[in-house]
Amino acid sequence: MLTVRIADCHLCADDPHTALATLTPVLDTDGTPLPALVRHELRGLRTRLAAGADRWGPGAAEAVARLGAAI
């Protein structure tokens, strides 16, 4: 949960590359479902990431898809 919040802080500070790097361990799970509260936080982060994907490039759009699959 803390990792997701830290990534969200980076995203809100207009630093999507650091946000995505921070999220990598969360998204690279072995298929085990994430806890409900973490999924809730990831939904908000995904919404903010999708809103800025045009400015942040294709990596952001790819991350939005990965987040959708994780939650």
Sign of the torsion angle spanned by Cα atoms 32, 43, 36, 9: positive
Instruction: Specify the pTM.
Output: 0.85
Band the pLDDT of 48: cuts 50, 70, 90: very high
Helices within the chain (DSSP H only): 2-12, 16-27, 36-56, 58-70
Q: Are 31 and 23 in contact (CB under 8 A)?
A: no
Question: Other CB atoms closer than 10 Å to residue 36's CB: what's the count?
Answer: 9
Band the pLDDT of 43: cuts 50, 70, 90: very high
pLDDT one-digit tens code per residue, 18-34: 999 999 888 887 778 88
